[in-house]
């Protein structure tokens, strides 16, 4: 029986491969999968936002490269978040199966720093455009 405080240890049961592997409580596995799907949605939103900025936003007067300066890093960040989100899912699942602590994620820091920098760059582009 699985307790609410941690994964059940089925390593002694049939088909156990040993090596300290446990079958985690399904709720933790599903929560890990939902987190992965949230990172995937975030990545997709970043890519779509970047494409929208580059392709649909009117050019900034006097700053012809402004759309690309804002949009392309968002597309790249979306690709990074997609790949890193999968890596996080794998690492978390392995930790759950070992009964180890879930590793810390760098994705929130990466997103926060990049989005902050992008907001500042956007403000600079808008100000440059307004002065021309």
Share of the chain above pLDDT 90, in %: 80
Domain boundaries, the chain: 38-131
What does the pLDDT read at residue 36? 96
Q: Check pLDDT > 60 for residue 93.
A: yes
Cβ atoms 115, 46 nearer than 8 A: no
* pLDDT-based confidence at residue 8 (cuts at 50, 70, 90): very low
Contacts 24+ apart (CB under 8 A), 118-122: 118/70, 118/73, 118/74, 118/77, 121/69, 121/70, 121/73, 122/70
The answer to whether the CB of 43 falls within 8 A of the CB of 79 is yes
| Cβ pair 74, 46 in contact under 8 A | yes
* Residue among 76, 40, 78, 72 nearest 53 (CA): 72
Residue 21: predicted pLDDT: 67
pLDDT tens profile 17-75: 445 566 888 999 999 999 999 999 999 999 999 999 999 999 999 999 999 999 999 99
**How far, in Å, CA of 50 to CA of 47, rounded?**
5
Query: Residue 54 has which token pair?
Result: 């580059």
């Amino acid at each position: 029986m699985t307790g609410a405080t941690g994964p059940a240890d089925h390593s002694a049961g049939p088909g156990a491969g040993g090596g300290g592997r446990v079958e985690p409580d399904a709720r933790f596995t599903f929560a890990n999968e939902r987190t992965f799907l949230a990172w995937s949605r975030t990545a997709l939103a970043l890519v779509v936002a970047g494409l929208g900025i580059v392709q649909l936003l009117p050019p900034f007067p006097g700053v012809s490269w402004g759309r690309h300066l804002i949009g392309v890093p968002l597309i790249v960040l979306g690709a990074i978040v997609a790949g890193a989100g999968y890596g996080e899912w794998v690492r978390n699942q392995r930790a759950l199966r070992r009964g180890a602590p879930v590793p810390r994620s760098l994705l929130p820091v990466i997103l926060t720093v990049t989005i902050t920098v992008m907001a500042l760059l956007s403000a600079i582009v808008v100000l440059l455009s307004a002065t021309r």
